[in-house]
């Protein structure tokens, strides 16, 4: 665990500034031998056990990550191997902080097509490895972690459970607002995360509103019917401003950024895990997920738990 106080010893920052501007109090940092796939395997095992399944019953693995173990093979195939699965398909999706929504949408469409039956969607990141630890504008914001869900195709049983709609968007003109300044095809290095925080903040609140409202319209439900709002965990101020504008009461908003920091594609599944374990999210609940990330990419997913 890395607290704000620990960061005060690394860069010119303060616990008060970080808490007031972001709501973050602490974040987790992976040990040197803990790769993204190792975090993903642990999350995947927990999700598969929780679903009451055997790993071999999974025939699709989608891993959302921007911090893969290797340039290739995909982190999803490392997770597949770690789970002892030899069949089916495994691949990564890369939509930065929106990665889990993109992964969920992808898996949902595979299941709906009938080509696959049980999908594991993992969001796993080790952002600590791409941070510039001398840049106080970014290094205080992020953390490491992984979360996972299992989706299973099932005949409609009248319960209305499942993914009701996913909305995916991107606009590549915004690359320089949030990016990593390296890569195998450009510098040949891994690079470091760079962000124009203020620009991202403004864009985030507006675009989140759009995709959440589009999801409500597409599914024919209203904000008043929502049980839980589980947004990407980047900044408490962005989350609360978005919820207020959408008319979602603060009591229905799941916030974990205080404990995890921004874990990019892992933030939503980590928040889902916390809210399910503590008894907030229950079977049959209407849950809205949303995220925005580098690219820019953004999106939402509305589901009946």
Please report the beta strands in the chain, taking only residues with DSSP state E, as ranges in sequence order: 2-3, 26-27, 60-64, 89-93, 118-126, 144-152, 162-170, 178-180, 193-195, 228-231, 286-293, 297-304
**Which residues are identified as catalytic?**
97, 232, 262
Cα 215 to Cα 64: distance, rounded to the nearest angstrom: 21
Other CB atoms within 10 A of residue 201 CB: 16
Q: Are 260 and 233 in contact (CB under 8 A)?
A: yes
Q: Please, which of residues 170-209 interact with ligand UT7 by CB under 6 A?
A: 197-198, 200-201, 204
Any contact of residue 26 with ligand UT7 (CB under 6 A)? no
Q: Are strands 228-231 and 193-195 parallel, antiparallel or unpaired?
A: unpaired
- Taking contact as CB under 6 A, which single stretch among the options 15-23, 158-166, 239-247, 279-287 is the one that binds ligand UT7? 15-23
Q: Which residue's CB is nearer to ligand UT7, number 130 or number 150?
A: 130
Q: Any idea what DSSP says for residue 176? A: G
Q: Which residue is nearest to ligand UT7 (CB)?
A: 197
Site string for ligand UT7, 116-155 (x = CB under 6 A): --------------------xx--x---------------
Residue 16 CA from chain centroid, whole number: 26
Alpha carbon distance, N-terminus to C-terminus of the chain: 31
41-70 binders of ligand UT7 (CB under 6 A): none
In the window 232-251, what residues touch ligand UT7 (CB under 6 A)? Answer: 234-235, 238
Q: How far is the CB of 103 from ligand UT7 (least distance, A)?
A: 16
- Residues 82-101, one symbol each (x = binds ligand UT7 by CB under 6 A, - = not), give ---------------x----
Residues interacting with ligand UT7, by CB under 6 A?
13, 17, 21-22, 97, 136-137, 140, 197-198, 200-201, 204, 234-235, 238, 262, 292-293
């Amino acid at each position: 665990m890395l607290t704000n106080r620990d960061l005060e010893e690394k860069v010119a920052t303060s616990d008060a500034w970080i808490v007031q501007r972001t709501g973050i109090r602490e974040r987790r940092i992976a040990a040197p031998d803990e790769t993204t796939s190792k975090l993903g395997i642990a999350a995947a095992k927990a999700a598969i056990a929780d679903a009451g399944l055997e790993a071999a019953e999974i025939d699709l693995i989608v891993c959302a990550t921007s911090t893969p173990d290797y340039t290739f093979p995909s982190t999803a195939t490392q997770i597949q191997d770690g789970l002892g699965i030899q069949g089916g398909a495994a691949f990564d999706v890369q939509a930065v902080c929106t990665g889990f929504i993109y992964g969920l949408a992808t898996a949902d469409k595979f299941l709906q097509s009938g080509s696959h039956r049980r999908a594991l969607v993992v969001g796993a990141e080790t952002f600590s490895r791409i941070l510039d630890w001398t840049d106080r504008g970014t290094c205080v914001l992020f953390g490491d972690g992984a979360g996972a869900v299992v989706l299973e195709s099932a005949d409609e049983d009248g319960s209305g459970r499942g993914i009701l709609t996913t909305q995916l968007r991107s606009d590549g003109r915004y690359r320089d607002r949030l990016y990593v300044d390296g890569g195998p095809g450009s510098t040949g290095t891994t690079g470091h995360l760079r962000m124009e925080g203020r620009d991202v903040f403004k864009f985030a609140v507006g675009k989140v509103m759009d995709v959440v409202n589009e999801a409500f319209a597409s599914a024919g439900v209203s904000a008043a019917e929502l049980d839980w709002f589980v947004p990407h965990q980047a900044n408490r101020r962005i989350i609360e401003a978005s919820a207020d504008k959408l008319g979602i009461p603060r009591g229905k908003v799941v916030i974990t950024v205080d404990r995890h920091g921004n874990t990019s594609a892992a933030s939503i599944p980590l928040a889902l895990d916390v809210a399910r374990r503590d008894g907030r999210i229950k079977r049959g609940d209407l849950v809205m997920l949303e995220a925005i990330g580098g690219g820019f990419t953004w999106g939402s997913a509305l589901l009946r738990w």
